[in-house]
Amino acid sequence: MSSIVPKNEGKLTARYASRAALMLPSEIRSLFAVASRPEIVSLAGGMPNLSALPMDVMASVVQKLVLENGTEALQYGSGQGHPKLREQICEIMALEGIRAKGDDIVVTTGSQQALDLITRIFIDPGDVILAEAPSYVGALGVFAQYQANVVHIAMDDKGLIPEALRDAIKTVREAKRKIKFIYLIPNFQNPSGVTMPASRRTEILEICRESEIFVVEDNPYGLLGFDGPTPNAMRSEDSENVIYLGSFSKTIAPGLRVGWALVPQAVKEKLVIANESSVLCPSNFAQLTISGYLANEPWRDQIASFCDLYRDRRDAMLESLDEFFPASATWTRPKGGFYVWVTLPPEIDTKVLVPRAIAAKVAYVPGTAFYADGFGSWQMRLSYCHPTPERIRQGVKALAGVVKEEIDRRSNETPKLTVR
């Protein structure tokens, strides 16, 4: 079997900069290689389901772009992003109550790059970033590489708990640590699927304003609500203290790699410079493809058809969890997005169960991937975005078998308390 460690890696390590030691593969990456085998039902990845994207339409958008405007599309562009697309992004954000100018937007190579650049601008080693418990694994990876200290804040079924936020700010400041920002995913959170109601958004914004802590609002799933209206974005209430991140990955296609940051004026200049040093300019070709699609195609209907597709899958997952999972497990009931978060009895280690789940032909992501501090060993993320409803049912049933077997094994192992 070939090794994944390159030859001479030992010798090379001595030559790396010290920061390379922080560049570690995510827990999820190695899992994806296995999960993508066709016989496995993958409830692991968060890949959008492009079966609902009309490829003939995309092909004609690209063809028209290259034939009619190829010299611009295939040329370098602005470090801030294409002005036309920035105006169109304002229209999209208006759906979430945001009033903004194109000039306040910086287009990035996916919102992942915006996360990287924002962290680069704000974080010195040892600075504190507050984040939900659990939080997005890709953001935690960025924060680790910049040597941030992530302090997780407890959530309930309405998202981050304001009281826990107040306590954390007090504790961190008593320890004389600097809090640079709080990272939040208020809509259909990755990984928990939870959505924060409007009143809680307002309360958290107030706490952060009073405490002079920037809010980084990451909102790639906001338009993928299935059950009625989604609360307005936090940015709609506070344009001075919120850095808003958006993305076309979930509403159009992740392969185009186009996201954006809507930032206060003071931050914009730094962000453009950071963007230029990172990529010179975001891809003009990808931006103009999206721009052409938004200008000429019924994109609102397309998002609605994505929502229909994901709603069916969400329903299939919740119904099969209700039917097959043991009574000692609990899970969230998302109103949009891609994910359900499952909590098992605390003695069950979801990392240990991965190989058994794979043997039963189902994959998921163990909970520890979503915490910076190793917490969450009895939790797991299940995503319903990709497999068909039938495959989801099959996968959840197989996983329930693995979980029940482990719970039974454990209960036979542990001596029972007898009450006399």
> What residue ranges bind ligand PMP (CB under 6 A)?
46, 110-112, 136, 138, 185, 190, 218, 220, 247, 249, 254, 259
**Residue among 185 and 365 whose Cβ is closer to ligand PMP:** 185
Nearest to 294 by CA among 275, 286, 330, 16: 286
Task: Work out how close the CB of 18 gets to ligand PMP at its nearest, in angstroms, rounded to a whole number.
Answer: 27
Task: Work out how close the CB of 67 gets to ligand PMP at its nearest, in angstroms, rounded to a whole number.
Answer: 28
**Residue among 79 and 141 whose Cβ is closer to ligand PMP:** 141
Task: Work out how close the CB of 113 gets to ligand PMP at its nearest, in angstroms, rounded to a whole number.
Answer: 7
Task: Work out how close the CB of 415 gets to ligand PMP at its nearest, in angstroms, rounded to a whole number.
Answer: 43
**Residue among 136 and 325 whose Cβ is closer to ligand PMP:** 136
**Residue among 159 and 259 whose Cβ is closer to ligand PMP:** 259
**Residue among 216 and 353 whose Cβ is closer to ligand PMP:** 216
Estimate the crossing angle of helix 110-122 against helix 265-279, to 10 degrees.
110
**Residue among 149 and 247 whose Cβ is closer to ligand PMP:** 247
Task: Work out how close the CB of 250 gets to ligand PMP at its nearest, in angstroms, rounded to a whole number.
Answer: 8
**Residue among 231 and 259 whose Cβ is closer to ligand PMP:** 259
Task: Work out how close the CB of 275 gets to ligand PMP at its nearest, in angstroms, rounded to a whole number.
Answer: 14
What lies within 8 Å, CB to CB, of 77 at 6+ separation is 281, 282, 283, 284, 287
What lies within 8 Å, CB to CB, of 153 at 6+ separation is 130, 131, 132, 133, 160, 161, 164, 165, 168, 182
Strand partners, 106: 261
HEC secondary structure over the chain: CCCCCCCCHHHHHCCCCHHHHHCCCCHHHHHHHHHCCCCCEECCCCCCCHHHCCHHHHHHHHHHHHHHHHHHHCCCCCCCCCHHHHHHHHHHHHCCCCCCCHHHEEEECHHHHHHHHHHHHHCCCCCEEEEEECCCHHHHHHHHHCCCEEEEEEEECCEECHHHHHHHHHHHHHCCCCEEEEEECCCCCCCCCCCCCHHHHHHHHHHHHHCCCEEEEECCCCCCECCCCCCCCHHHCCCCCEEEEEECCCCCCHHHCCEEEECCHHHHHHHHHHHHHHHCCCCHHHHHHHHHHHHHCCHHHHHHHHHHHHHHHHHHHHHHHHHHCCCCCEECCCCECCEEEEECCCCCCHHHHHHHHHHCCEECEEHHHHCCCCCCCCEEEEECCCCCHHHHHHHHHHHHHHHHHHHHHHHHHCCCCCCC
Task: Work out how close the CB of 115 gets to ligand PMP at its nearest, in angstroms, rounded to a whole number.
Answer: 6
**Residue among 111 and 230 whose Cβ is closer to ligand PMP:** 111
Task: Work out how close the CB of 86 gets to ligand PMP at its nearest, in angstroms, rounded to a whole number.
Answer: 16
**Residue among 259 and 292 whose Cβ is closer to ligand PMP:** 259
What lies within 8 Å, CB to CB, of 369 at 6+ separation is 26, 27, 28, 137, 376, 381
Task: Work out how close the CB of 220 gets to ligand PMP at its nearest, in angstroms, rounded to a whole number.
Answer: 5
**Residue among 80 and 249 whose Cβ is closer to ligand PMP:** 249
Q: How many residues does the chain have?
A: 420
Task: Work out how close the CB of 414 gets to ligand PMP at its nearest, in angstroms, rounded to a whole number.
Answer: 37
Task: Work out how close the CB of 219 gets to ligand PMP at its nearest, in angstroms, rounded to a whole number.
Answer: 8
**Residue among 260 and 331 whose Cβ is closer to ligand PMP:** 260
Residue sitting closest to ligand PMP (CB)? 110
